[in-house]
Structure 1
Amino acid sequence: MNYPRLMLASAALMITQAAFAQSSVTLYGVIDYGLNFVNNAQTIVNGARTGRHQYAMSSSIMQGNRWGLRGAEDLGGGYKAIFVLESGFDVGTGNFQQGGDLFGRQAYVGISSPYGTITLGRQYDSVVDFIGPVTGAVGNGTYSLHGNDINNFGNTYRVNNAVKFTSNTYGGLRFGGLYSLGGVAGSFGTNSIFSFGGSYGFGGLTVAAAFLKARDPNRSFWGNNVNSSSTASNLGSISGVQVNPVYGGFASASSYQVAGAAVQYTFAGAVIGANYSHISFRDLNDPASGNLALTNPRGYTGNASFNSYAAFVRYALTPFLWVNGSYDYLTGGAIQGKEGAKYHLFNAALDYFLSKRTDVYFMADYQIASGTDSTGQPAVASYLTITPSSNAHQVVLRVGMRHLF
């Protein structure tokens, strides 16, 4: 008998078993689906834009649909190898969300340590990480997001090819940053994205701040999915039935910036909070954005900026029944003699938990718009994922169900 070979095989088996014992992979997900009523949704009749009632089913409103795999392997000394693969999907059609990407929500690998975590891949920016959890969208969902999620507080856009550092928590303080390499030979900054931010929690108080800058955003940020266009606007056409009239006319920006801050306080079954952000679309009419006839049909030059203000409250009527409300005010977009627009967004939601993992909810949302929007037309009410109104007002009602696994 070959004892050395037998001993080697036994040792290898023991090492393998130990590695399995120290590793874990978790399957998790969210399924959110419901029925919407919209009192006025744009449609084209005889070549003219008009409004009609709309009944439709939709996914990912109270929370984004997903399924994912999360894994960790203990490397010893407080170090772990980690990974996440997370896919967004539409319940009604079975299609991928996030522009057709298989793992469009997140896909990264990295190392966690006693000093923090470094990850590589498709990831969330610092605005999402630090400000996102302390906004009204937590209880009021997608329809409460400022102007088609103009500041990305709601995580509408992700970052490809990113290197990210997230600190551990030190006395309530946590911070981090991200950098996405554009990958263009001879031009380090082209298509690059960077962000940084932090949060501090003490008792029931949480404060957070973050900054995000995306260069060549029509490609690097709004257009980084498999179904994105390298020539057209990835914020949607501004003619016909509109997609994003709030800021869709600014797709030719050389850079996109968001600076934001948020505060939240939890006490006696209630959560109250507020946030602010300044959003700018800089150096419009950039040829690198694509075909300027498509990304900038209005011929804008210079900078366009917005200011967004919001306040929200959540209150537990019982341990199983929560009432949520928020108000958002967005103003800006003036450029080259074109006046800006103003959007008032009112949201309310009633959320009943059937169990720890399943709830049913009702949402009521109302928006008022005024001024001139990014397309150079009279501003219309517009929600993320909802067809814009044909006029300045829009009501959205929704009944939905969410299940976590």
Structure 2
Amino acid sequence: MKKSLLAAALCGAFTMSAHAQSSVTLYGLIDTGLVYTNNQLGHSNWQLGSSSTQNTVFGLKGSEDLGAGLHAIFKLEQGFLLNNGAQAFSGSAFGSQAWVGLQSDPYGTLTFGRQFDVMNDLVGPISSSFNTWGGSIAAHPFENDNLAANSVVINNSVKYASPLYHGVTFETMYSFSNKAGDFANNRSYGFGLSYAQGPLNLAAGYLQLNNAGNGTGAVTTGDTSANFIAERQRIWSLGGNYTFGAATVGLLWSHTQIDNVAGVFSFGTGSYLGATDSSAGTLAGSLRLDNYEVNAKYALTPALSVSGAYTFTHGAYNGSSPGWNTAMLQTDYAVSKRTDFYLEGVYQNVHGAPADSVLSHAMINTLSPSSTNTQVAVTVGMRHAF
């Protein structure tokens, strides 16, 4: 009898130990609000918006301790639109993220699946468009440098992230075309490096997309991940921020080269300039864009903050030199650790672009293009994390 009781106790102890070493967590974020735009497709517009600042998602993430500092990890995440329940990434069950991998305390993390690119991981946090205090609606024109809050997701990717070493983190990734006989068609690769020590944070990165939007490769148009249809898109970025007590100030530069570009996409609704579906318009030739951003955030109290950003984007397209001015201002009030309310305004103006091309029309990210060179959007919203 005593042996039976001892065996049962040991069995229970091992079971409890196994449960303690693995975990699965349900999590999510909901972002919704009312958005007023002075000009969308030639008309002012009031709309119930979703994900103006952060992606609205729910997901599962888990970890299992394999011993010796090694963990099996996974994440499955679905993005959706709160106003109608539709998938944010059309046709994808877990369009926001779907990956599995191994995490080693001394050697780093290796993951496989549909993931955010390495430049978004490391340089993105310096941009206002990545953070809750600016968000997707504050992105650079056409979200040309992939720095906004997790808007471009890469398929078929293998990603390595180093452990933190004296404040330095390194990431690299490669994404396969998954197409027989066409290895280089619609593939992607990149790397990023960051340094964080005390109040200082620095980061740099490079990302290349080859023939994005073609078939079922690294970046596709079918799930709205592709921002441009082009033979090749190369992005360099460099930035940093510094925290002074309650204030954080950041500077960021990114350079995007888009070769043999055919079209650019908008995440707003409706067609424009002869394009169809969610496309904002057609292009032809090469497009170069340099983004120069300065941003700041100040915590007035632990619950109340104000933030702002200004980006000048200099372009070169078929002999023209278009320029964009994009400005953002936000105030945010947190009523708890998981719930906050925000009021945000974004202004964009474009000049110097060829007349009647998509580049000559202002287009704030997540919204349909303006019929003029200016667009203003104001949103009041609520976020809740769980």
Q: TM-score range by the shorter chain?
A: 0.7 to 0.9
Closer/same/farther in 2, CA of residues 379 and 85 from structure 1, 3 Å limit: same
Closer/same/farther in 2, CA of residues 361 and 330 from structure 1, 3 Å limit: same
Closer/same/farther in 2, CA of residues 224 and 61 from structure 1, 3 Å limit: same
Closer/same/farther in 2, CA of residues 32 and 377 from structure 1, 3 Å limit: closer
Aligned to 1:277: 254
Residue 14 of structure 1: how far off its partner (Å): 7.2
Give SS of 2:300's match: strand
Aligned to 1:102: 93
Aligned to 2:27: 28
Give SS of 1:217's match: coil
Give SS of 1:109's match: strand
* Percent of matched pairs sharing the same residue: 36
Separation (CA, whole Å) in 2 of partners of 1:316 and 1:148: 30
1:261 to 238, 242, 250: 238
Aligned to 2:266: none
Deviations 1:111-133 (A, max 9, x none): 00021000000001011100111
1:190 to 167, 185, 188: 185
Separation (CA, whole Å) in 1 of partners of 2:218 and 2:334: 36
1:82 to 64, 67, 73: 73
For the 8 Å contact 1:365–1:397, the answer to whether it is kept is yes
1:223 maps onto 2:217 in alignment: no
Closer/same/farther in 2, CA of residues 284 and 382 from structure 1, 3 Å limit: closer
Structure 2 counterpart of 1:392, one-letter code: N
Separation (CA, whole Å) in 1 of partners of 2:222 and 2:168: 33
Structure 2 counterpart of 1:326, one-letter code: A
Separation (CA, whole Å) in 1 of partners of 2:185 and 2:10: 51
Aligned to 1:169: 164
Q: Which moved more, 1:392-401 or 1:13-22?
A: 13-22
Q: How many residues align?
A: 363
1:300 maps onto 2:284 in alignment: yes
For the 8 Å contact 1:160–1:224, the answer to whether it is kept is no
Aligned to 2:336: 355
Aligned to 1:384: 365
Give SS of 2:328's match: strand
Residue 379 of structure 1: how far off its partner (Å): 0.7
Aligned to 2:135: 141
Q: Which moved more, 1:181-190 or 1:154-163?
A: 181-190
Aligned to 2:296: 313
Aligned to 1:243: none
For the 8 Å contact 2:187–2:218, the answer to whether it is kept is no
For the 8 Å contact 1:333–1:373, the answer to whether it is kept is no
Deviations 1:32-88 (A, max 9, x none): 10001111111xxxxxxxx22100011111211111111000000000000000111
Q: Which moved more, 1:365-374 or 1:53-62?
A: 365-374
Residue 186 of structure 1: how far off its partner (Å): 2.7
Q: Cα RMSD between the aligned structures? A: 2.8
Structure 1 counterpart of 2:123, one-letter code: I
Q: Which moved more, 1:321-330 or 1:177-186?
A: 177-186
Give SS of 2:90's match: helix
Aligned to 1:213: 208
Give SS of 1:143's match: helix
The TM-score normalised by the length of structure 2 is 0.87
For the 8 Å contact 2:288–2:315, the answer to whether it is kept is yes
Separation (CA, whole Å) in 2 of partners of 1:20 and 1:315: 42
Contiguous gaps of at least 5 residues in structure 1: 43-50, 229-233, 236-247, 287-292
Give SS of 1:40's match: strand
Aligned to 1:242: none
Residue 183 of structure 1: how far off its partner (Å): 1.6
Separation (CA, whole Å) in 1 of partners of 2:282 and 2:195: 43
Give SS of 1:140's match: coil
Give SS of 1:318's match: coil
Separation (CA, whole Å) in 2 of partners of 1:169 and 1:258: 25
Aligned to 1:289: none
For the 8 Å contact 2:155–2:219, the answer to whether it is kept is no
Separation (CA, whole Å) in 2 of partners of 1:99 and 1:8: 52
Aligned to 1:124: 116
For the 8 Å contact 1:100–1:227, the answer to whether it is kept is no
Aligned to 1:159: 154
For the 8 Å contact 1:298–1:375, the answer to whether it is kept is no
Give SS of 2:360's match: coil
Residue 371 of structure 1: how far off its partner (Å): 1.9
Aligned to 2:173: 178
For the 8 Å contact 1:278–1:306, the answer to whether it is kept is yes
Residue 398 of structure 1: how far off its partner (Å): 0.8
Structure 2 counterpart of 1:403, one-letter code: H
Give SS of 1:355's match: coil
